[in-house]
Structure 1
Amino acid sequence: MGLRCNRFFEQQKPVEGSSEYQFEYKGADWYFASQDNLDKFKADPEKYAPQYGGYCAWAMASSKTAPGNAPFWTIHNDKLYLNYDQKVQDKWLADIDGFIEKADASWAQLEKE
C-alpha cells in the first residue's frame, strides 16, 4: 500500500515510509517512517487507516470505486479520507458531511458483498 497514514495526522502530509518499518494490515503492506509511527498504527490502525479501504471517498459516495491518491487527502472528524485527484477533491470539499453519509452507506453495502 505504501501509505504512511499516521503522518497525515501528525505532519499534515504523507511521508515516505521504509521497509524497515513495515506492517501487514488487512492484506496490504503498510510502510512507516519510524518505529514510533509503526507502533502508533499497530496500537490503533482504524484511527489512522484511510476510510473505505483507501478508495476515493467521493467515488464511494456514488457507489463506485476509484483509487484514492495520497496527495488528495482530508482529515475530517479525526478520520482520513482520500480522493482521486484535485478536481474530485474540490467536489468532495463542497459537502464533506453529505458525501460521508452516502459513502458510509455504500461502503457498508460493498463490505456485505
Structure 2
Amino acid sequence: MFSNKLLKLAGIFLTLYVLAMNVALAESMDRATLEKQATLALGGYDATTYFNLSGAKQGNDAFQAVYHGKRYLFTSEENQQKFANNPTQYLPQFGGLCAHSLVMEKEVSANPAIYTLQQGKLYMFVSEEARTQWSQDTSKNLIAANKHWMFESEKRHEQIAAKKRWKTNNTVKLFSF
C-alpha cells in the first residue's frame, strides 16, 4: 500500500519535472531564432524613416520588432521605440501592395524603395511608372484603390467567418430511410 502511494507520488513528480523541462526549453529558445521565423517586412527598410526628410533607409538586425507575424528592422533604438509606441502610424497603406495595381483591381506586391507620402500616409508602388500614373490623379486613384481593397477585405473576412462557422457547425447528422 505504501509502495503504491510512493509510485504514484514519483509519477506525479516525474510528470511535473518533464513539464518544467519543456517550459524551460521553450523559454530558452534563442530570441533571434524566433524573430527570424517571422517574415521580413518592407524589404528590411526602417518603417519610421519613410516619414523623415532624408527618406527611407535600410534597418539592421540590431533593432527589430515583430508585429502581426512580420519582422521589422530599424536603424536605431529610437526608431524601434517610435514604431513600438504606434505601429499602425508607420505601416504602408493596403498592406504594402502596390497602390496603383489596386486601381486596376490587381494585387501586386510593391517595391518598398518606391513610395510616396500623402496626407501622412505611406503608399508603395511596384515601379516608378506606377507611382507616376498614381500621381496624375491621386484622389480618383485613391477612391478606386480603396474600393477594391475594401471589397477584397470584405471577401476575405467572409471567407474567414465561413471557415469558423464550418469548424463549429461541422457535425455529422445520421438519418435513415
TM-score above 0.5: yes
Report the CA distance between 1:55 and its aligned residue.
Answer: 0.5
Cα RMSD between the aligned structures?
1.3
State the alpha-carbon separation in 1 of the partners of residues 73 and 116 from structure 2. Answer: 20
Which protein has the larger Cα radius of gyration, Structure 1 or Structure 2? 2
More helix per residue: 2
Corresponding residue of 2:105 = 63
State the alpha-carbon separation in 2 of the partners of residues 26 and 108 from structure 1. Answer: 20
State the alpha-carbon separation in 1 of the partners of residues 123 and 45 from structure 2. Answer: 12
Residue 139 of structure 2 aligns with an amino acid whose one-letter code is: D
Give structure 2 stretches of 5+ with no counterpart: 1-40, 157-177
**Matched positions, count:** 113
State the alpha-carbon separation in 2 of the partners of residues 4 and 110 from structure 1. Answer: 28
3-state SS of the aligned residue for 1:100? helix
Corresponding residue of 2:31 = none
Residue 110 of structure 2 aligns with an amino acid whose one-letter code is: G
Of 4, 8, 17, the residue aligned with 2:59 is 17
3-state SS of the aligned residue for 1:64? coil
Higher mean displacement: 10-19 or 89-98: 10-19
The verdict on how the C-alpha distance between 1:13 and 1:43 changes in structure 2, with shifts beyond 3 A counting, is same
State the alpha-carbon separation in 1 of the partners of residues 91 and 144 from structure 2. Answer: 19
Higher mean displacement: 26-35 or 4-13: 4-13
Q: Deviations over 1:43-94 (max 9, x none)?
A: 1111111000100000112221111112211000100000001111110110
Report the CA distance between 1:96 and its aligned residue.
Answer: 1.3
Give structure 1 stretches of 5+ with no counterpart: none
More strand per residue: 1
Residue 98 of structure 1 aligns with an amino acid whose one-letter code is: K
State the alpha-carbon separation in 1 of the partners of residues 126 and 54 from structure 2. Answer: 18
Residue 83 of structure 2 aligns with an amino acid whose one-letter code is: F
3-state SS of the aligned residue for 1:101? helix
Residue 81 of structure 2 aligns with an amino acid whose one-letter code is: D
When normalised by structure 2's length, the TM-score is 0.60
Matched, 1:46 2:78: no
- For residues 1-113 of structure 1, the aligned pairs below 5 Å read 1=41, 2-112=44-154, 113=156
Which stretches of structure 1, 4 residues or longer, exceed 4 Å deviation after superposition?
none
State the alpha-carbon separation in 1 of the partners of residues 68 and 153 from structure 2. Answer: 13
When normalised by structure 1's length, the TM-score is 0.92
State the alpha-carbon separation in 2 of the partners of residues 23 and 11 from structure 1. Answer: 23
Higher relative contact order (CA 8 A, sep 6+): 1
Residue 48 of structure 1 aligns with an amino acid whose one-letter code is: Y
